[in-house]
Amino acid sequence: MAIVTQFALVIGNKNYSSWSLRPWLAMKYAGLEFAEIRIPLDTPDTHREIRRYSPSRRVPVLLHDNITIWESWAICEYIVENFAPQLLPRDREARAIARAVSLEMHAGFHDLRQNMPMDCRNRFPGEGMNPNVRADIMRIKEIWRNCRHKFGQDGLFLFGDFSLADAMFAPVVSRFVTYDVLLTDVEKNYAATIWQLPAMQEWLAAASQEKEIISHP
């Protein structure tokens, strides 16, 4: 596939912006070259800077060919539809379930997101746990086990090869590392696969170099 340039992805801090990580990973695995416009979150300039690019006043935003696309999942779908069809499984059922679990992630797990915010370079073992967070974690682990068992046997990812579903769950892997969430074997192996991806390591290395600190509520 030809490398298409002239993409720019507007993202937040790599250490904190879980929504930015998702399409960033998808673009890396699509083999697309893109510029990054990084806007640190939670500063006096953040809202003004984000408004320059984003109608929703949120990052990520993809700029391509005079088109502005906001919402992480919409960016992922745009990449698949136009440049990287391989990022969703071809099989009808697997493709439908990949979308279902991705959108379950996109729309849900508020307790986990609120109480265990992404903070790639830090470690807070045991912090943030409560019964609702535990329920979110149980459901995520169930998704991982079911997908690996039913659709993932031919590869290392939820649906075998790397897909948008893996990009959507990558920030959860980072949270599980930061808050030292207990995982069983299938879950642990899957989390390790995501954590060790070269692109994930590139993101984490950049996150560790960032100077901004956003304290947790």
What is the contact surface with ligand GSH in residues (CB under 6 A)? 12, 17-20, 41, 46-47, 58-60, 71-72, 106
Q: Is 62 helix (H, G, I), strand (E, B) or coil?
A: strand
We find the least distance from the C-beta atom of residue 191 to ligand GSH, in angstroms, to be 21
Q: Please state the closest distance from residue 216 (CB atom) to ligand GSH, in A.
A: 14
Residue number with CB closer to ligand GSH (72 or 193): 72
Burial group, residue 217, by CB count within 10 angstroms (0-12, 13-18, 19+):
exposed
Residue matched to tokens 């893996």: 166
Query: Is the Cβ of residue 114 or residue 146 nearer to ligand GSH in the bound state?
Result: 114
Nearer to ligand GSH, 38 or 145 (CB): 38
164 within 8 A of 102, measured Cβ to Cβ: yes
Amino acid letter for position 110: H
Torsion of the alpha carbons at 171, 173, 176 and 179, rounded to the nearest 10:
-50
CB of 104 to ligand GSH, least distance (A): 13
- Cβ–Cβ < 8 Å for 195, 173: yes
| Nearest distance, CB of residue 4 and ligand GSH, angstroms | 22
- The smaller minimum CB distance to ligand GSH, of residues 19 and 151, is found at 19
